[in-house]
Structure 1
Amino acid sequence: MAKKTLEDCPPETLADQVVVVRVDYNLPLNRDGEVVDDTRLVRTLPTLQYLVEAGAKAVLLSHLGRPGGRPDPALSLRPVAGKLEEFLGYPVGFCLMTTGPQAQEAVQSMKSGEVLLLENTRFCPEDARNDAEWAEEISFGTKLFVNDAFGTAHRAHASTQGVADAVRRGGGDAVAGFLLERELRFLSDAMADPEHPFVTIIGGAKISNKIDVIEALLPAVDRLLIGGAMANTFFKAHGWAVGDSLVEEDRIDTAHRLMDLAGDKLLLPVDVLTAPSITSDVSTCVSACDEVGEAQHIGDIGPRTAELFIDVVGGARTVIWSGPMGVFELAPFRSGTFEVARAAASTADRGATVIVGGGDSAAAAVAAGVVDRITHVSTGGSASLEFLSGNEMPGVAALSDR
Structure 2
Amino acid sequence: MKLRTLEETDIYQKTVLYRSAYDIGVKQIAGGDYVVKDDSRIRASLKTLEYLINNECKIVVLTYVKRPDGKIVESLRTSPHAKSLSALLGKPVRKMDDCIGDEVRKAISDLKAGEVVMLENVRFHPEEMIDDDKFAKELTYGCDLVVFDGFPQAHRAHASTTGILRHLPNCAGFYLESEVAALSRLTSAPQKPFTIIIGGEKISDKIDAINNLYDVADAILVGGGVANVFMKAKGIDVGSSFVEDVFVDLVRKEKKDWVEYASKILARGDKVRVPVDLVVGDDLDNPHRAEISVTVPAGWAALDIGPLTSDAFSKTIKQSKTVFWNGPMGVFEDDRFAAGSGSIARAVEQVSGLTVIAGGDTIEAAKKYCDIGKITHLSLAGGATLEFLAGKKLPALEMLRKE
Determine if the TM-score, normalized by the shorter chain, exceeds 0.5. Answer: yes
Give the secondary structure class of the aligned counterpart of 2:112: coil
- The counterpart of 1:14, out of the listed 12, 15, 30, is 12
Residue 36 of structure 1: how far off its partner (Å):
2.5
Change (3 A) 1:304 1:400: closer
- The counterpart of 2:331, out of the listed 317, 321, 327, is 327
Measure the CA separation in 1 of the matches of 2:94 and 2:370: 34
Measure the CA separation in 2 of the matches of 1:87 and 1:332: 36
Percent identity over paired residues:
37
Q: Counterpart of 2:115 in structure 1: which amino acid?
A: E
Residue 141 of structure 1: how far off its partner (Å):
3.9
Q: Deviations over 1:23-77 (max 9, x none)?
A: 0112232123112210000000000000011110010001111111111111110
Is the CA contact 1:283–1:332 (under 8 Å) kept in the aligned structure 2? no
Residue 240 of structure 1: how far off its partner (Å):
2.1
Gaps of 5+ in 1: 168-172
Residue 400 of structure 1: how far off its partner (Å):
5.3
Is the CA contact 2:349–2:370 (under 8 Å) kept in the aligned structure 1? no
Is the CA contact 2:26–2:75 (under 8 Å) kept in the aligned structure 1? no
- Partner residue of 1:217? 213
1:87-166 → structure 2 map (5 Å cutoff)? 87-166=88-167
Give the stretch that moved more between structures: 30-39 or 383-392: 30-39
Is the CA contact 2:231–2:237 (under 8 Å) kept in the aligned structure 1? yes
Q: Counterpart of 2:24 in structure 1: which amino acid?
A: L
Measure the CA separation in 2 of the matches of 1:374 and 1:128: 35
Give the stretch that moved more between structures: 220-229 or 369-378: 369-378
Give the secondary structure class of the aligned counterpart of 1:128: coil
- Partner residue of 2:348? 344
Q: Deviations over 1:246-285 (max 9, x none)?
A: 1234322222111111x12121110010011334x53311
After TM superposition, the score normalised by the length of structure 2 is 0.93
- Partner residue of 2:21? 24
Measure the CA separation in 2 of the matches of 1:399 and 1:143: 16
Residue 297 of structure 1: how far off its partner (Å):
1.1
> Which protein is richer in helix relative to its size?
1
1:3-402 → structure 2 map (5 Å cutoff)? 3-10=3-10, 13-15=11-13, 17-32=14-29, 33-167=34-168, 173-250=169-246, 251-261=258-268, 263-279=269-285, 282-290=287-295, 292-347=296-351, 351-399=352-400, 401-402=402-403
Matched residue count: 388
Measure the CA separation in 2 of the matches of 1:377 and 1:400: 23
Give the secondary structure class of the aligned counterpart of 1:337: helix
Is the CA contact 1:359–1:382 (under 8 Å) kept in the aligned structure 2? no
Is the CA contact 1:301–1:336 (under 8 Å) kept in the aligned structure 2? yes
Measure the CA separation in 2 of the matches of 1:194 and 1:237: 29
Is the CA contact 2:62–2:122 (under 8 Å) kept in the aligned structure 1? yes
Q: Counterpart of 2:180 in structure 1: which amino acid?
A: L
Is the CA contact 1:197–1:315 (under 8 Å) kept in the aligned structure 2? yes
Measure the CA separation in 1 of the matches of 2:232 and 2:184: 34
Q: Counterpart of 2:319 in structure 1: which amino acid?
A: G
Is the CA contact 1:126–1:134 (under 8 Å) kept in the aligned structure 2? yes
Q: Counterpart of 2:331 in structure 1: which amino acid?
A: V
Give the stretch that moved more between structures: 331-340 or 236-245: 236-245
RMSD (Å) for aligned C-alpha atoms: 1.4
Measure the CA separation in 2 of the matches of 1:389 and 1:238: 23
Measure the CA separation in 1 of the matches of 2:313 and 2:401: 42
Residue 333 of structure 1: how far off its partner (Å):
1.2
Give the stretch that moved more between structures: 185-194 or 27-36: 27-36
Residue 386 of structure 1: how far off its partner (Å):
0.6
Residue 369 of structure 1: how far off its partner (Å):
4.1
Residue 115 of structure 1: how far off its partner (Å):
0.7
Q: Deviations over 1:154-186 (max 9, x none)?
A: 11111111100111xxxxx21100000000011
Measure the CA separation in 1 of the matches of 2:162 and 2:40: 24
Is the CA contact 1:20–1:60 (under 8 Å) kept in the aligned structure 2? yes
Residue 388 of structure 1: how far off its partner (Å):
0.2
Give the secondary structure class of the aligned counterpart of 1:146: strand
Change (3 A) 1:356 1:144: same
Measure the CA separation in 2 of the matches of 1:242 and 1:203: 16
Q: Deviations over 1:200-258 (max 9, x none)?
A: 11111222222210110001001111111121122222222211111234322222111
